[in-house]
Structures are given as structure tokens and as C-alpha cells.
Amino acid sequence: MLLELLLFTALLVGLYFLLHSTVLRLPRCKSSAKLHGKTAIVTGANTGIGKTTAKDLARRGARVILACRDKRRGEAAVQEIIQETGNNQVIFLQLDLASLKSVRSFVENVLRTESRLDLLINNAGLMNDGKTQEGFGMIFGVNHLGHFLLTVLLLDRLKASGPSRVVTVASRGYEYGKIDFNCLTTHRDFALGDNDYQLFLKYCHSKLCNVLFTYELAKRLQDSNVTCYSLHPGAIKTEIGRYAGFWWRLLMTPVTFLFFTDVESGAQTTLHCALEQGIEHLSGHYFTHCAPLLNVMPKARDDAAAKKLWELSERRCSGQEAVGAQREFLWSVLKQSLVSDDTNSTFIH
């Protein structure tokens, strides 16, 4: 019995290594580009794919800004990257994508302290419930809206530093996503509900937003020297599900262990989109395995939806819809007051 158990265990271990050396093995970024004199921003760079990406850019000589919410973890990541790469031009700037005010403050700091910006890596993402500071659904606010505002506010600096690139980490999960514009308008979120499965679907919706945002952004940058790309990093072991519920973690832990790969592999397509020469004509495209995926689903190339999402995002970031809602509320109160006055006057008379 013990021998059979040992043989079975050895078989499983062998299968694990076989899978990860063949089927699950991801291609590497082949670029040998050096980045001395270049500046890059990486959001969510204190852990996972973001930290690995920042480390690679620093190793190539770039000045790298780690844009993270958690100051302690961000500064620890800075020290780790400096120690491993020998590049002292790695800094932390606080950015909370769940606060549009924080995004604007971050951009003000960057524009005041940095004379150029060559790479913007929109890497941060989460799968949490809750609301942002402005009352948006957390996944919508962080995964899409915060990065939308960040990118738009930095476009002039990116153009002035060109050729430059915007790289947004999406996911194959976009295939399961959809955008309910009515729900976004009414509830300021992708959908109602916050159980683990519903959060996963919201995450997929946000990844479709990432793909459509990049697609629309490329159109608006056609006459500039800024290009943009979205990508699927692969099935990667990251901390994105660290706040998931018990049953979700119970389900996903063995799947992640067996079939997901490491963060270094997960950073390769990001690096390819950021560094590979000769892909400028593919601006707006979606990449996976360090190559453009040309047969994306039709909803990832929906011109009307991409334009509508951009316009809705502009309104959300500018607060126009909030102002409009406030006006409607005040007008309804005023009308009730007028009706009440009329009723009282009639009664008195």
C-alpha cells in the first residue's frame, strides 16, 4: 500500500512538472532593449506581475515609479528592486485607484517631478466587493475607471516624450464579460450582488472594459506617437483572489497550484508590449503569449460600445452625472415644495 502511494505521488509530481514544462509553459519576452533615460509608471507594482514587470524595467536602466496604494508594501518593493537590480532610480508614489481624487493628486505629483514619461503600465487589478471613495463599484472603479482617468491625465506627457506606450493588463476573462450601461448609469456598478461568483463576473466585465478602452484609445491616438496595447498575461499565481470567500478559495487553490504559472512568466507579455520594436502598427490590439491575437471576439471590437464606454467614463470622472443627479434631486424637492405650498394655500383659502 505504501509503495502504491509513493508511486502515485511520484506520478502526480511528474505530471505537474511535465505540464509546466510543456503545455503551461509561456513564451519569454525576447527584447534586449535598454531603457536608460526612460521613465516608466507601473500600477500595482508592490506585488505579483506588477513587481516583476517593474524589476525587469529597472534592470534595463529605466527610472521606475511604483504606483501603489499601500505605502509600506510599496516602499518595501522599492528597496527589494533596488537591491536586486542595482538601479537607484526606483521610487514609490502613492496611488489609490479607488479614489479619483488620489488619481488626480498622483498625476499632479508626476507632472511636477518628472520631465518625461515613456511607459505607462496599467497593471493593478482586484476582485473585491465594496465601493470606491466616489461610490462606484470597487471592481469597476479600480480595474477600469481609475486607470482610465490616470491614462487620460498623463496623455500629454506621454505625447511629449514619444514614442511612448500605454500597456493595460486585461485578461482572457473578457470573453465572459459584458457591459450593462443601464446598470452602470443607475447603480454605478457592473451588476448587483457580491457573492464570489458575481465578483468573478464583475472582474470579467472589467477586463472587457480594459480591452475596449485600449481599442478606443488607439483610435484617439492615431495622429500621435503614443501606442497602446491590452493583454492576457496567462493563468498566473497572483494575490488577486486573496480576499475571496472560503468556498471560492477551497475550489481555486488546487486549480491554481496545478495549472497556474509563476509571476515571472505572467510578466512576459506585458514586457513584450512595452518593449518589442515593430509592433506600433498593432496599436489597440489585444496580445497573449507575446503575440497579437487577431481573432478576438466581436465584442472586443465593438466600436459603438467602446465609444459609449469612453464617454460614460469621461462623465463619471468629471462628475457631470453626479451634478446632473443632484440637479434632478433638487428639482424634485423644489416641485414637491411648490405642490405642497399650492395644497396648503388651497386648504387655507
**CATH number of the domain within which 266 lies:** 3.40.50.720
Residue 36 lies in a domain: yes
Q: Would you state the pLDDT for residue 70?
A: 96
Residue 106 lies in a domain: yes
Cβ–Cβ under 8 Å, residues 221 and 214: no
Which residue ranges of the chain lie beneath pLDDT 50? 12-13, 16-21, 23, 321-335, 337-349
Active site residues: 203
Question: With 0-12 CB in 10 A as exposed, 13-18 as middle and 19+ as buried, what is 147?
Answer: buried
Residue 40 lies in a domain: yes
Q: How many domains does the chain have?
A: 1
Q: Would you state the pLDDT for residue 160?
A: 97
φ/ψ of 41, rounded to 5, equals: -115, 130
Residue 336 lies in a domain: no
Query: Which structural domain, as residue segments, surrounds residue 58?
Result: 25-318
H or E element at residue 63: strand 63-68
Residue 341 lies in a domain: no
Residue 324 lies in a domain: no
Q: Would you state the pLDDT for residue 69?
A: 96
Residue 96 lies in a domain: yes
The interaxial angle of helices 303-318 and 147-160, nearest 10 deg, is 100
Neighbours of 21 (CB within 10 A): 9
Residue 103 lies in a domain: yes
